[in-house]
Amino acid sequence: MRDVKDTRSTRAKINLGLTYAVMIFFTVMAIYPLLWLAMNSFKTTTEFQLNKLGIPRDWVLVNYKDAWVRGKFPILILNSIIYTGITTVATLIFSFMAGFAFAKIPNKATKYTHGSFVIGLLLTLQSIMVPLFLIINWVGLYNSRLGVLIPYIGIAMPMGIYLGTEYIKAIPTALVESARIDGATYMKIFISIIVPMAAPVGVTVAILTVTGTWNEFMLINILTSSDALKSLPVGVQKFAGALSSDFGKQFAALMIGLIPMLLFYMFFRKEITKGVAAGAVKG
């Protein structure tokens, strides 16, 4: 009897040890490439050639200085902040407005208007890329900030509308009705009841829009040509992607491209993971 118990607990210990080993393995796998990148961004290119895997002998900052200036990173970061900021604010406002109307104001059109947004969840960027490029050219918005922002907002809308409508539906209709009886207009109800109560879903929508817009690469690449309008990912691709032998500088440029999202993740980790889980509604 005793033996059985002993072997059982030994086996449990081995299993636990194995589980830890597996978890640690996957964690190392996930972060090693990023650590490798960070370490090498502090090496000169000459040192990298000799020492590809180890920690730097001298930690140099010159790569960062060079990349920052030659890659024109200040303007890229500023552009990314403009695109992401305006897209997120506009998506939030439009999603809340329409979400409120869909959830609380009866109208026969909702079946079609709301329905068309839900179909949008299934549409892919590929199916609109070429026509969008042609249309933006046709209306004369090619190579302009507005010509990037309008598509960005439209693309973020379906998810914002979907999450917003579902959330606002759960707000008691009695609140809206009693305010109506007291003579409040829908606009007043929207500002004073709906917006404050729907704030939590606003965080989710904002997180999804920020991450999606900040990392967007394909559309802005075809909708703009001027360097002054490019976003951070496009700039990183143009600058770092072209450096095939100057590794130190390339790695520093990649780090500059990586740090903003890393900071965002550090500050909003809980909200991001919640948002991703909530956003997994496609289909």
Partner 1 sequence: MPKAHTLADAKREQRRAYWTLVLPGFLVYISVMAFPTIFSIFLSLSDYSGGKLFGGKPVHLVGFKWYQNLFADEYFYLALKNNMWIVLVSVFGQIPLGFFLAYVLYRGIVKFADFFQTMIYLPTVISTVVIGILWKSFFAPYGAFPELVRLFNPQYEYGISNHPMLPVLFVILWMYTGMYLIIFIANLQKIDSAVIEAARIDGATEGQTLRYIILPALSGVLVTTAILAISGSLKSFDLIFVMTAGGPANRTSVLSIYMFDKAFKGAPRYPLANAISTVMVIISFVLIGLTKWAESKFGGRE
| Choice between 132 and 198, CB closer to partner 1 | 132
Q: Are 162 and 99 in contact (CB under 8 A)?
A: no
| Among the residue ranges 3-11, 91-99, 168-176, 196-204, the one whose residues contact partner 1 (CB under 8 A) | 91-99
Please, what is the minimum distance in Å from the beta carbon of residue 4 to partner 1? Answer: 16
Would you say how long the chain is, in residues?
A: 283
Please, what is the minimum distance in Å from the beta carbon of residue 202 to partner 1? Answer: 14
| Choice between 202 and 257, CB closer to partner 1 | 257
| Choice between 122 and 199, CB closer to partner 1 | 122
Contacts of 5 (CB under 8 A, 6+ apart): none
Q: Which of residues 163-192 bind partner 1 (CB under 8 A)?
A: 183-187, 190
Residue 42 interacts with partner 1 (CB under 8 A): yes or no: no
Residue 10 interacts with partner 1 (CB under 8 A): yes or no: no
What is the Cα–Cα distance from 20 to 15, expressed in whole angstroms? 9
Residue 23 interacts with partner 1 (CB under 8 A): yes or no: yes
Q: Which amino acid is at 62?
A: V
Q: Which of residues 218-277 bind partner 1 (CB under 8 A)?
A: 218, 222, 232-234, 236-237, 240-241, 247, 250-251, 254, 257-258, 261-262, 264-265, 269, 272-274, 276-277
Contacts of 271 (CB under 8 A, 6+ apart): 203, 204, 207
If we measure between CA atoms, which residue out of 75, 159, 79 comes closest to residue 122?
159
What is the Cα–Cα distance from 163 to 144, expressed in whole angstroms? 30
Tell which one of 61, 118, 134, 170 touches partner 1 (CB under 8 A).
134
Total residues contacting partner 1 by CB under 8 A comes to 96
What is the Cα–Cα distance from 195 to 104, expressed in whole angstroms? 13
